[in-house]
Structure 1
Amino acid sequence: MTSNAIKLGIVGVGKIVRDQHLPAIAKDGNYQLIAAASRHGKVDGIANYPNIEAMLAAEPGLEAVSLCMPPQFRYDAARTALEAKKHVFLEKPPGATVSEVEHLKALAEKNGVSLFASWHSRYAPAVEAARAFLASARLTSAAINWKEDVRRWHPNQEWIWEPGGFGVFDPGINALSIATHILPPMFITSAVLDFPENRAAPVAAHVAFRTSNGLPVTMELDWLQTGPQSWDILAETDKGKMALSGGGAKLAVDGKIVHDEPEAEYPMLYKRFAEIVRAGNSDVDLAPLQHVADAFMLGKRNVIEAFFD
């Protein structure tokens, strides 16, 4: 731990916090984790509080907070922290709506603190290599295939099926966070969203995009894929067929692996958060969230058979 470590609190102690945030924070000398707030979970060895208001009142030395509750409940906590002049790390997606995150961005600027919309998949090890390859090539088309088993990755997480919970776009926004970083600017032209008859969020989506210069991009999202999981972005270019697979972990061109490293997304996120806190600026890119909003706005609703966890 550095002598000027950022005093950090974490809000919403659930699966993603235990799997990713706590291990990343523990290994990063830029932080001293001093408190947690959660309705149900607790973190051993530090002070625990029932909510962010109680945590901020009892811990005036806190400098920053990581907000990891479901997106439907994040705005009020973020606003409370920003108005208390605390730097804020937002787990993805940064909010339930585009406009609320825009408001938080303005609020951070008004209060002179940093806001970080943390798109963790952008920090997958092969993403920058894919971006560099595409920048050097002429793209002709691209396809995003993000297919996984919701029962494996989100068991009994009812919030994710509620309005504002995103459904299959919860993992799908990871794909979009990479796509908006490595592909040319694009916009949705059509979408079909498959809603189980007993759920308020989609379990699959079929989306068509067009880049600003007319190139086609497709996206297939599926939450019912068993067996091997698929997190791939494929691109046809004049320099060969690019495949970014494993959620951004591995890059191949014409079947030859050109980049393959172990995943370290959350350590990289916390490194970036420390950078912007110390620099006094924010990092809030809303493009992935805007595409999700557009898909819901433009998409045709297709009702399918009921889903039971």
Structure 2
Amino acid sequence: MARTRIALVGIGKIALDQHVPALNASPDWELAATISRSGKVDGIPSYTDFATFLTERPDIPAVSLCMPPVPRYAYAEAALNAGRHVMLEKPPGATLAEVHALQALAKSRGLTLYATWHSRMAHAVAPAKAWLADKTVQKAHITWREDVRKWHPGQDWVFQPGGMGVFDPGINALSILTEILPQPVHLTKALLEFPENRQTPIAAQLTFSGNVSADFDWRQEGPQTWDITVITDKGELALRMGGNVLEIDGKPFAGENTIMGEHPALYARMATLVAQGHSDVDLAPMVHVADALTLGERRITGAFDF
């Protein structure tokens, strides 16, 4: 069965590390073009101008946007207006309103819009959700600490307006939290740390209803920490390695210690959505970030440079 052609927009570290390998291995998709100001994929036709791509390649019915959130809306809007299905890397946009607008546009055009959350595809997230389904959550905590110098070397856009700062990785944790908890929670308090020379936070401490809390920090050195613990009336759950390893009461329960299955699962989901004529746009993780930036107490810290 022939694979469907797809174009990848934005050829940076995440695209090369995750999206390209996932597409190369996909039984559903053929990477048929790339669009980037500088990046390329060997053997794949490349474009530097998106409008030119849309005009010259009507044979490619879908695009995957892997670029910073601020410019993403214009590309998604152009793609939908050109009749292409659109897959959005997380976060789906710079604002909630623009994603709502894209959702309405996709619906009016009869096209698929998929706002992806790759961490929800981690190996242990589905088993964690199933285990929690019939339990009462008494307490939950997220510890999400990583080194921005390692994951976004020299990428100043993450500290510019719309870049989200520490919420760029933190929203991954929130995407898992909103997926696995049996009941929704809402933010009640936040403390955000802004370097004196930056426009977005480098650390955040969040408090939610339901005795749920989170600690995000982008200054971690050495081993990185991506953990979620949930204490229930029937035991304790721990998700580690960004949702890929599940422990119950301190013992291994499910998962694999790798993140390489997340993006293949996203593209499989995109193929299903297109085949069914559906969209998938869940903004719950982004709502929590917006609430934190609205409600959060701002604390200025020392300058931060890569």
- Look up the SS of the partner of 2:70 in the other structure: helix
Whether the 8 Å contact between 1:11 and 1:51 is mirrored in structure 2 is: no
Q: Hey, what does 1:197 align to over in structure 2?
A: 196
- 2: distance between equivalents of 1:16 and 1:185? 30
Q: Hey, what does 1:91 align to over in structure 2?
A: 89
Q: Hey, what does 2:216 align to over in structure 1?
A: 221
**Aligned AA (2:187):** I
Whether the 8 Å contact between 1:142 and 1:236 is mirrored in structure 2 is: yes
Q: Is 1:118 the counterpart of 2:116 in the alignment?
A: yes
**Aligned AA (2:214):** M
Q: Is 1:305 the counterpart of 2:296 in the alignment?
A: no
Q: Hey, what does 2:271 align to over in structure 1?
A: 274
User: Post-superposition shift, 1:260?
Assistant: 2.6
User: Post-superposition shift, 1:75?
Assistant: 0.1
User: Post-superposition shift, 1:267?
Assistant: 0.5
How many residues align? The count is 303
Whether the 8 Å contact between 1:242 and 1:251 is mirrored in structure 2 is: yes
Deviations along 1:226-247, one digit per CA (max 9) or x if unpaired, are: 1111101111111111111110
User: Post-superposition shift, 1:136?
Assistant: 2.3
Q: Is 1:46 the counterpart of 2:44 in the alignment?
A: yes
Whether the 8 Å contact between 1:96 and 1:164 is mirrored in structure 2 is: yes
Question: What TM-score, normalized by structure 2, do the two folds share?
Answer: 0.97
Question: What TM-score, normalized by structure 1, do the two folds share?
Answer: 0.97
- Look up the SS of the partner of 1:85 in the other structure: coil
- 1: distance between equivalents of 2:252 and 2:149? 31
Q: Is 1:295 the counterpart of 2:280 in the alignment?
A: no
Deviations along 1:142-179, one digit per CA (max 9) or x if unpaired, are: 10110111111111011111000000000000000000
User: Post-superposition shift, 1:51?
Assistant: 2.2
1:181 is aligned, of 174, 179, 182, to 179
- Look up the SS of the partner of 1:247 in the other structure: helix
Q: Hey, what does 1:24 align to over in structure 2?
A: 22
Q: Is 1:258 the counterpart of 2:253 in the alignment?
A: yes
- Look up the SS of the partner of 1:194 in the other structure: strand
Deviations along 1:262-296, one digit per CA (max 9) or x if unpaired, are: 43000000000000011000011000111111100
1:76 is aligned, of 74, 77, 88, to 74
- 1: distance between equivalents of 2:281 and 2:16? 24
- 1: distance between equivalents of 2:136 and 2:15? 40
Deviations along 1:176-230, one digit per CA (max 9) or x if unpaired, are: 00000011201100101000000001000011000xxxx2100100111111111
Q: Which moved more, 1:40-49 or 1:167-176?
A: 40-49
Deviations along 1:15-68, one digit per CA (max 9) or x if unpaired, are: 111000000000112112111111111122121111211111111111000001
User: Post-superposition shift, 1:113?
Assistant: 0.5
- 2: distance between equivalents of 1:239 and 1:216? 17
- 1: distance between equivalents of 2:49 and 2:91? 20
- Look up the SS of the partner of 1:143 in the other structure: strand
- 1: distance between equivalents of 2:232 and 2:170? 24
Q: Which moved more, 1:257-266 or 1:7-16?
A: 257-266
Percent of aligned pairs with the same residue?
A: 52
**Aligned AA (2:228):** I
Q: Hey, what does 2:168 align to over in structure 1?
A: 170
- Look up the SS of the partner of 1:141 in the other structure: strand
- 1: distance between equivalents of 2:78 and 2:141? 40
User: Post-superposition shift, 1:77?
Assistant: 0.1
Q: Hey, what does 1:230 align to over in structure 2?
A: 225
Gapped runs of 5+ residues in structure 1? none
- 1: distance between equivalents of 2:130 and 2:273? 24
Q: Which moved more, 1:44-53 or 1:61-70?
A: 44-53
